[in-house]
Amino acid sequence: MILDKVNNPKDLNKLNIGELETLAQEMRELIINKVNTIGGHCGPNLGIVEATIAMHYVFNSPVDKIVFDVSHQCYPHKIITGRKEGFLNPDMYLKYTGYTAPEESEHDMFKVGHTSTSVSLALGLAKARDLKHENYNVIALIGDGSLSGGEAFEGLDNAAALDGNFIIVVNDNDMSIAENHGGIYSNLKKLRETNGKYECNYFKTFGFDYYYLEEGNNIEKLINAFEKVRDSKKPVVLHIHTIKGCGLDVAEQNKEAFHWIVPGTLDKKEENQQNPINEENYTSITVDYILNKTKTDNSVIAIAAGTPGVFGFNSEFRNILGKQYTDVGIAEEHAVAYSSGLAKAGAKPILSLMSSFVQRTYDQLSQDLCLNNSPVTMLIYWGGISDADATHLCVFDIPLMSNIPNLVYLAPTTKEEYISMLDWSVEQTQYPVAIRVPSCELVSSGIKDMTDYSVLNKYKVEEHGETVAIIGLGSFFNLACQVKDELKKQSGINATVINPKFITGVDKELLNNLKQNHEIVITLEDGVLDGGFGEKISRFYGDSKMKVLNYGAKKEFTDRANLEELYTRYRLRKELIVQDILKNVKIYT
Amino acid sequence: MILDKVNNPKDLNKLNIGELETLAQEMRELIINKVNTIGGHCGPNLGIVEATIAMHYVFNSPVDKIVFDVSHQCYPHKIITGRKEGFLNPDMYLKYTGYTAPEESEHDMFKVGHTSTSVSLALGLAKARDLKHENYNVIALIGDGSLSGGEAFEGLDNAAALDGNFIIVVNDNDMSIAENHGGIYSNLKKLRETNGKYECNYFKTFGFDYYYLEEGNNIEKLINAFEKVRDSKKPVVLHIHTIKGCGLDVAEQNKEAFHWIVPGTLDKKEENQQNPINEENYTSITVDYILNKTKTDNSVIAIAAGTPGVFGFNSEFRNILGKQYTDVGIAEEHAVAYSSGLAKAGAKPILSLMSSFVQRTYDQLSQDLCLNNSPVTMLIYWGGISDADATHLCVFDIPLMSNIPNLVYLAPTTKEEYISMLDWSVEQTQYPVAIRVPSCELVSSGIKDMTDYSVLNKYKVEEHGETVAIIGLGSFFNLACQVKDELKKQSGINATVINPKFITGVDKELLNNLKQNHEIVITLEDGVLDGGFGEKISRFYGDSKMKVLNYGAKKEFTDRANLEELYTRYRLRKELIVQDILKNVKIYT
C-alpha cells in the first residue's frame, strides 16, 4: 500500500503523480469501508479525496493553516495527517471524531460542525498573522452548500478587504446535503458551464481574484491550481468542480441518500435503501400530518433549511407538496423571517429545524418572529441529551428559545398530544408556537387529546398523590413515571406526576396548590438545566418552604459521550432520584 | 402647505410633480425639526424622502406591501400614511415610534429595528400571496448598510428562486451607519460609477432583473423607475442612488455624525459637535484602554460590527488604530467567528457589541467561539432595563450568553474592577470572556482591584451581615447597597451585601456558608429574570431551607416604557424589596 508510506503531509511530496492517484484510491476504499461499518459522511468525503491530497502536497500544514467548513469532509485530511489508523483498523474506527478536532492533531485548526463558518474563522487567522508580521498561507475550504448560510457571505464580504494572503477554495459538487436551492447556485452553474469564464461572477463581485478548475478530482491539475494561488499576496478564490460521492457509483447516482449513510447501507439490496422500515414514529406521523394538511389547505406550507432528510422530507414528499414546500438552503435566519412573513400574509407555515441548528437564528426568533407575534408553527427535532459530537449537541434549545417573550413552546409526551398541539398551532393566529418533537420512541395513549391549548400554561396532573410531585417534561415524562413507581416501591410514598406540556410558562395555580400536601417538587428535563425549565419552578417556590430539585444536563459541551454514563452523571436515573428525594423528605430526614 | 392635502398615500396622486417636490421640502423641514427637538435618525430619513413619496405614488399601499429594512428610515412613510401629526405637532412627537409599527398603521407590515431582515420578511408575504392566489406587489426596501448582514444575503439567495412578483429596492447612499466596509461595497461603487452597467453585478449573480437609477432624490425619475418594476412577474432589483442627509448641508457633510442625532444638535456650535463633553464614563475609559493597549502590543485588535459610534470609536480612534481595528460592517456572526480565528492564531481581539445586537450571533458564540474556547474579549454595552424601543431592548443578553458552556461572563461594578477584568481577559489564553460594561454612571472606588479573575466564580462579600444576603449583579450592585441601608433603617437587620462579579457561575462555597446565619437571599439583576442569573441561585438552594427572591425584568417586550414605572412594576425599588424581605424573614412573620 502506498498509504504505508504516508504518516504525515510531508510524505506526500516523496510520491509521484501515479502514486498519489493510487493513494487516492486506497483512501477512498478505506472511507467507504469505514462509513459502511459505523456510518458517517460518505459523499462529501469521496468527492474531496484528490483535492485534499493536492492541498497537502502544495501547502505546508500546520505552518500553513487549512480551515474546513462544516468539516464533515475532513476524513481524507485525517488519513493524511497522522490518523490513518482510525480508518485502517476497524477497532479504531471510533477513535477520531467525524469533524476537525484540534485536540486530535495540530493540523486541525477548529472544532467545526455547523456550516458557513470557515471564511470568517480563517480570516481571523490571516489577520492575526499579519498583525504579528508572520508569513504563511491561510486556506478556507468551503463547500457549495455552505455558501447559502449568511455567515459565509459576511465572511466573504469582509475577506475581500484583507490586504494579504488569503485563499478560499470553493468545493463545488453541485449539491449541498440535498439539491441546492436559491440564486447563487444558478451562478455557480453558469461558472461551471463556462469553465469559470462567465463575467457576472459572484466571487468577483466582492473583488476577489478568481480561478476555476473543472477537473476537481484530477490530482495533477489540482496541484497546478493550488500552486497558482499559493503565497498569493491578496485574497483569492479557487473554485473547483468536484463530484460528490466520486468513485462509488451508487453514491454518485444517489447524492442526497449518500451524503451521510447508516452502517450496512452498501450491503443492503437497493429497494431497501429507498424504503426505510415502515414503523410509525414521530417523524413519520409528522410527514403524514403535513401531507394531509397541505392537501386540504393550500395556505399550509412546509419549510426546511437544508436538512430535509432529518425530517423525512424525501423527494416524493417534496414533489407532492410542490409549491407548498420551500427548502431555503442552509439559511436558518432567513427560514424564520420568511416564515414570519408567510404567517403575516395569512399562510400557515410549518418550519422544521433540528435543535442544534435552531441556534443559528436567535435574533430572527426574537425580532422577526416573536416581537411580531407571527403565528408560525416550528417543529424542533432531536432535542435532548445524546451521544452526539460536540458540534451537534441538542440540549440548548430550551434556554435558547423559551426565554424569548411571546413564544409558546410545547412539549408533547404522546402521539395524541402531539397531533392535538399541531392542530391547534397551525390554525391559531395569536402566537408563534414551537413544538419539541419527542426524541424518544413513539408513545400512543390511544385516546384523542381534547386539550384546549389556547389556554396557555396549564399543566396536567396525570396522577394525583402527595408529599412528592414529579414534573416530567416532554420526552422525560416517562422517567417521571418510573421515579414515581420506584419511590412507591422503596418508601410507600404515592407521588404526584405532572405533565407540564408548556415549556414557556409556569402554572401558578397548580404549583400553589401543591403546597397544601407536598414537600418537594422534582423537575426533569431533557436538556441543559441552566436557563431551562426547572429553574423557573425553583424561582417560583423561592419564597416558600417547598423544596425543589432540578434534573437535566450540566452546562457543558459533551463529545460523543456514552449516553448511559451521562444519565448516571446527571443523576437521571430513577434510583438516584429516589435516593435524593428520600434525603429531602421530612419523614425520612 | 401641500402637506395639508395629504392624509394618506392616495392623496399623492392628486398632486403634480412640482407639488410633490414642494411636499418633499415640507416633509424634510418637519423631520429636521423633530429630530433636532427629540433626537432620532436624521440622515437616513432625509435621504429617502423623495423615494418614499414616489413609492407611495406608484404603489397602492396597504394592498401592495412595503417592508422597510431596519425601518429607521420610515419617517417620511409615517408622514404620508396618516401620522403627520407626530411630526407637525411637537406635543405629539413621541406618539409614534421611530420604526415601523403595525399597531400604528395598516401601512406598516412588521415591527422592525434590527437590520437585514426586509428581503426575508417580504419574501414570506409574496409567497403567501402566491399560495392564496392573491395579486399585489410586494416591495422590500433595503439600505446598502443592511446588505452586509448575512440574513439579507440568505433572503436574496432564496428570493431569486421565487416565481412571482417581488421588488427589492436597494437604497444606496454609499454609507451604512459609519462608512461601508467590505467587498460588496466596491461592487455597489462600480455600479454607481457605471450607471448600473458594470457587468459583474452582485444582484445579477443571483439571477435578478436589475435596474439602476442614479438620481435617487428626483421624484419624477423615481416615479418612472417604480412604474417600470410595478407588477413585475418575477423578482427584480431596483438600485437607487440617494444622498444620505439630503437637503441638510451639515448632515450631507457629516454623514456618520448625522445618522442619529441627539436633541439640539443643530443648535450647537460646530466645535461642540466634534468634541463631546469630556467627562469620564465607561465608554471613554474603554476607548482609552484600547488606545493604550494597542500602542504597546501590536497583536491587540479592536473589532466593531457597524456601530462604532456607540463605543466611542470615532474617526480619530479608528485612524490611530489603523490595522489594529476592523469594522466588519453589520455582520455580528462574522465578527464573532473572525475574533475566534484571531485569538486562535495568537492575536488579542477585543470585540464590542451592543446587548441588543449580540442576539444576532448565538450560534457563533456557541460553536465558533465557546466550543473552541478561543480567548476573545467581548464587551457588551447597554445591557439593562431601559426605555428603549421594543426592537432595541437590552435585557436578554444574560440568558442568551450565560447558558453557553465555557464562556466567562463578568459584571464589574466599578471602574477599577472593569479595568482589572479587562487586563486579565485580554492577556489570558484559557477562556472566551465577555464583560458587561455597566450601563450606569461610572463608579470609582479609587482602589486598584487586585482580584485574580482566573479563579473563576468567586463572589465578593462587600459587607458582612446576617439573616438577609443581597446579591447585586453589575449595575444593580448600587441597588443592593440601597436595600441594605433601607432594611437596616426599617428593621435593624444588618444584611450581607455580595458583589458576584461572575454571571456565568455559582460560588457554591460562599452560598453554602450563607446557610449558617442567613434565612433569605435576594438577587438583583439588570435584565430579564427568565434564564438569567438569579434563577441559578434559586436552583442552588432548592434542597435547603434558604428562601430566595429573584428581582429583574419580566419576560416581555416593553416598548418605550417609562423607566421609573418599569422599576416599580418589577419591584426594583428599595422600599418594595424591603417590604418583600420583611414578609419572609422569620422574626417578622
Q: How many CA atoms lie within 13 A of A520 on its CB side?
A: 23
Residue A214's pLDDT is: 97
- Closest residue in A to B184 (Cα) is A206
Scanning A99-213, the segments in alpha helix (DSSP H) are 118-131, 150-159, 183-193, 202-206
Reported confidence tier of residue B260, pLDDT bands at 50, 70, 90: confident
Reported confidence tier of residue A122, pLDDT bands at 50, 70, 90: very high
Positive or negative torsion for Cα B94, B100, B102, B106: positive
In single-letter form, the type of residue at position B440 comes to C
Mean pLDDT of A158-166: 96
CB contact under 8 A, B333 and A150: yes
- DSSP for A398-446 reads HHHHHTSTT-EEE---SHHHHHHHHHHHHH--S--EEEE---S-----S
The DSSP bridge pattern shows strands B40-41 and B260-261 to be: antiparallel
Mean pLDDT of B441-446: 95
CB contact under 8 A, A124 and B344: yes
> What are the chain A neighbours of B528 within 8 Å (beta carbons)?
403
Q: pTM for this structure?
A: 0.96
- Residue B263 CA: distances (Å) to CA of A445, B35, B142: 64, 7, 27
CB contact under 8 A, A329 and B542: no
Q: How far is B15 from chain A (nearest CA, A)?
A: 31
Q: Which of A123, A131, A208 to mutate to test the interface with B (most CBs of B within 10 A)?
A: A131
In a 3-state reduction of DSSP, which class is residue B521?
strand
DSSP at A367 = I
Residue A182's pLDDT is: 66
Query: Residues 6 or more apart from A224 whose CB is under 8 A from it?
Result: none
In single-letter form, the type of residue at position B236 comes to V
CATH code for the structural domain at B460-588 = 3.40.50.920
Q: Which of A65, A124, A370 sits opposite B337 (nearest CB)?
A: A124
Sheet with B325-327: list strands edge to edge: B325-327, B300-304, B348-354, B377-381, B433-436, B408-410
Q: Which of B114, B159, B539 sits opposite A538 (nearest CB)?
A: B539
CB contact under 8 A, A150 and B148: no
Average pLDDT taken over every residue of chain B:
95
**B182 against B468, higher pLDDT:** B468
CB contact under 8 A, A127 and B324: no
Reported confidence tier of residue B259, pLDDT bands at 50, 70, 90: confident
Taking each helix axis as running N to C, give the angle between helix B17-38 and helix B49-58, from 0 to 180 degrees, rounded to the nearest 10: 130
CB A170 within 8 A of CB A213: no
Alpha carbons A150 and B156: distance in angstroms, whole number: 10
- Closest residue in B to A160 (Cα) is B183
- Closest residue in B to A532 (Cα) is B531
> What are the chain B neighbours of A121 within 8 Å (beta carbons)?
337-338, 340-341, 344, 368
In sequence order, the β-bridge partners of residue A496 are A469
Of B125, B131, B127, B130, nearest to B108 by C-alpha is: B125
Reported confidence tier of residue B272, pLDDT bands at 50, 70, 90: very low
Of B330, B358, B383, nearest to B117 by C-alpha is: B330
Reported confidence tier of residue B257, pLDDT bands at 50, 70, 90: confident
CB contact under 8 A, B371 and A390: yes
Share in percent of chain B as helix, strand, coil (round to 5): 45, 15, 40
Of B510, B427, B414, B504, nearest to B461 by C-alpha is: B510
Alpha carbons A404 and A371: distance in angstroms, whole number: 9
Reported confidence tier of residue A272, pLDDT bands at 50, 70, 90: very low
Residue A177's pLDDT is: 57
From the CB of residue B445, how many other CB atoms can be counted at a distance below 10 Å? 11
Of B192, B137, B154, B199, nearest to B170 by C-alpha is: B192
Q: Can you tell me which residue has the cell 465578527?
A: B335
Mean pLDDT of B316-320: 96
- DSSP for B74-106 reads -HHHHIIIIITHHHH-GGGTTTS-SS--TTT-T
Of A272-286, B103-117, B538-552, which gets the smallest average pLDDT? A272-286
Cell of residue A161, nine digits: 478587504
User: Domain A282-436 is classified in which CATH homologous superfamily?
Assistant: Thiamin diphosphate (ThDP)-binding fold, Pyr/PP domains (3.40.50.970)
Domain residue ranges of chain B, discontinuous segments joined by +: 2-265, 282-436, 460-588
CB B413 within 8 A of CB B443: yes
CB contact under 8 A, A337 and B363: no
Mean pLDDT of B415-430: 98
Q: How far is B192 from chain A (nearest CA, A)?
A: 14
In single-letter form, the type of residue at position A410 comes to L
H or E element at residue A303: strand A300-304
CB contact under 8 A, B334 and A158: yes
Of B476, B478, B496, B477, nearest to B552 by C-alpha is: B476
Q: How far is B360 from chain A (nearest CA, A)?
A: 5
Q: Does the structure show a pLDDT above 90 at B285?
A: yes
Alpha carbons B4 and B46: distance in angstroms, whole number: 20
Q: Which of A111, A160, A538 sits opposite B182 (nearest CB)?
A: A160
Reported confidence tier of residue B197, pLDDT bands at 50, 70, 90: very high
Residue B256's pLDDT is: 82
Of B154, B122, B156, nearest to B138 by C-alpha is: B122
CB contact under 8 A, B129 and A345: yes
Let me know if the fold of A2-265 is the same as that of A460-588: yes
Mean pLDDT of A358-365: 98
CB contact under 8 A, B324 and A548: no
Of B551, B545, B502, nearest to B526 by C-alpha is: B551
Cell of residue A62, nine digits: 500546520
Widest distance between CA atoms in chain B: 82
H or E element at residue B303: strand B300-304
The DSSP bridge pattern shows strands A547-553 and B65-68 to be: unpaired
From the CB of residue B92, how many other CB atoms can be counted at a distance below 10 Å? 14
Q: Does the structure show a pLDDT above 60 at B551?
A: yes
Q: Does the structure show a pLDDT above 90 at A105?
A: yes
CB contact under 8 A, A539 and B555: no
Alpha carbons B240 and B259: distance in angstroms, whole number: 19
Query: Residues 6 or more apart from A480 whose CB is under 8 A from it?
Result: A470, A471, A472, A497, A498, A499, A522, A524
- Residue A415 CA: distances (Å) to CA of A376, A385, A440, A479: 21, 21, 11, 17
Residue A586's pLDDT is: 79
Residues B201-213: b if buried by 16+ CB within 10 A, e if exposed: bbbbbbbbebbbb
- Closest residue in A to B555 (Cα) is A405
Mean pLDDT of A178-184: 70
Residue A192's pLDDT is: 95
CB B527 within 8 A of CB B384: yes
Q: How far is A449 from chain B (nearest CA, A)?
A: 29
Q: Does the structure show a pLDDT above 50 at B561?
A: yes
CB A219 within 8 A of CB A51: no
Q: How many CA atoms lie within 13 A of A85 on its CB side?
A: 6
In a 3-state reduction of DSSP, which class is residue A118?
helix
Reported confidence tier of residue B279, pLDDT bands at 50, 70, 90: confident
In single-letter form, the type of residue at position B38 comes to I
Of A498, A488, A495, nearest to A462 by C-alpha is: A498
In a 3-state reduction of DSSP, which class is residue A217?
coil
DSSP at B321 = H
Reported confidence tier of residue B66, pLDDT bands at 50, 70, 90: very high
Reported confidence tier of residue A259, pLDDT bands at 50, 70, 90: confident
Reported confidence tier of residue A279, pLDDT bands at 50, 70, 90: confident
Q: How many cross-chain Cβ pairs, A to B, lie less than 8 Å apart?
A: 423
Q: Which of A539, A548, A583 to mutate to test the interface with B (most CBs of B within 10 A)?
A: A539
Average pLDDT taken over every residue of chain A:
95
Residues in chain A: 589
Percent of the residues in chain A that have a pLDDT greater than 70, as a whole number:
96
Residue B175's pLDDT is: 67
CB contact under 8 A, A342 and B128: yes
Of A248, A433, A437, A468, nearest to A348 by C-alpha is: A433
- Residue A529 CA: distances (Å) to CA of A133, A396, A556, B363: 45, 9, 10, 19
Omega of the bond prior to A44 within 30 degrees of 0, cis? no
Cell of residue A577, nine digits: 432520584
Query: Residues 6 or more apart from B455 whose CB is under 8 A from it?
Result: none
In sequence order, the β-bridge partners of residue A260 are A41
> What are the chain A neighbours of B532 within 8 Å (beta carbons)?
403, 531
Q: Does the structure show a pLDDT above 60 at B277?
A: no
Q: How many CA atoms lie within 13 A of A418 on its CB side?
A: 30
Residue A181's pLDDT is: 62
Alpha carbons B447 and A558: distance in angstroms, whole number: 41
Alpha carbons A45 and B7: distance in angstroms, whole number: 63
Q: Does the structure show a pLDDT above 80 at A100?
A: yes
**B362 against A179, higher pLDDT:** B362
Convert the pLDDT of each residue in A418-448 to its tens digit: 999 999 999 999 999 999 999 999 999 999 9
Omega of the bond prior to A276 within 30 degrees of 0, cis? no
In sequence order, the β-bridge partners of residue A518 are A467
Convert the pLDDT of each residue in B15-24 to its tens digit: 999 999 999 9
B2-265 under CATH 3.40.50.970, yes or no: yes
> What are the chain B neighbours of A130 within 8 Å (beta carbons)?
323
Alpha carbons B192 and B536: distance in angstroms, whole number: 55
- Residue B176 CA: distances (Å) to CA of A427, B316, B357: 40, 19, 16
Of A498, A376, A58, A145, nearest to B120 by C-alpha is: A376
CB contact under 8 A, A341 and B122: yes
Alpha carbons A87 and A75: distance in angstroms, whole number: 9
Residue A276's pLDDT is: 54
